[in-house]
Amino acid sequence: MSISLRAFLIPSLAALLLVPVFGTLGFWQLQRGQEKHALQAEYDRRAVQSPIVLGAERRAADAVQFFRVQASGVYETEFQVLLDNRIHRGVAGYHVITPFRIAGGDTRVLVNRGWVPLGANRTNLPATDPPRDPVTISGVAVVPRAEFGLGELDTLNRAGTTVWQQLDLARYTNAVGWPMQPIVVLLDPQSPGGYLREWSRLDVGVAVHQGYAFQWFALAAAVIVLYGVLMVRAIRRAPWSSERGER
């Protein structure tokens, strides 16, 4: 194959391969963004509905996730968890996760009571004792993602508080042996017994997919531009172009 032919063929094959691939990936990300947009609208709708009252009967996670929920009962101090490395406005601290026994049975639900600062060090944990009297709480139901880095769950402190990096709700439930609602309640700022609670709007990530789509389309455009530049150079260097110039 001559050099001049190779200068045309290789860029053309690369462009024919890459532009459709990048374009397809861009449109796929746009489609995912549209799906997430519909999901976001559903979550926003759930957030303004009347609260779902939690009782002793275990609810399906999908039936209450991102809805506002309400429960009456008492906080318990055993098996409380502090989630480490939670940053608020540049300050390190913990999220306080406390079991809440729902009135009328043995079912518990975990409540994220908010953020507390780290303090001087991690040796002396902040005081996070919950109210002892029966209370009614309300908040938004979320399902935490299971992530690595928990450590062994046999380190759970029945008499007090344990520090974890992440919360795996399924493993927590298996460890404590209580019947548990399959959610965590992000405690409302107005509910008693909490700490700093500046919860952000629940975001499913529409902007992320839009950003990825832009990147794929930009790559496709870059390939087209680069192909055009290479073709112009190849034409100028082609033997027939030189012969035409000599005439």
On whether residue 247 sits in a domain, the answer given is no
On whether residue 37 sits in a domain, the answer given is yes
On whether residue 58 sits in a domain, the answer given is no
On whether residue 146 sits in a domain, the answer given is yes
On whether residue 145 sits in a domain, the answer given is yes
Does 211 lie in the same domain as 168?
A: no
On whether residue 60 sits in a domain, the answer given is no
Is 0.95 topped by the overall pTM? Answer: no
Does 229 lie in the same domain as 153?
A: no
Does 37 lie in the same domain as 75?
A: no
Amino acid at 62: D
What is the domain extent for residue 225? 3-43+206-241
On whether residue 200 sits in a domain, the answer given is no
Contact between 117 and 91 under an 8 Å Cβ cutoff? The reply is yes
Q: pLDDT tens digits for the chain (247 residues)?
A: 455 666 678 788 888 888 999 999 998 988 888 777 777 777 777 777 788 999 989 999 888 888 899 999 999 988 899 999 898 988 999 999 999 999 989 999 999 999 999 877 777 888 888 888 999 999 999 888 765 444 444 466 666 678 888 888 888 888 888 899 999 999 999 888 899 998 876 666 777 888 988 999 999 999 899 888 888 887 777 665 555 445 4
Distances (CA, A) of 144 to 110, 168, 171, 221, 232: 11, 7, 12, 39, 55
Q: Structurally, how many domains does the chain consist of?
A: 2
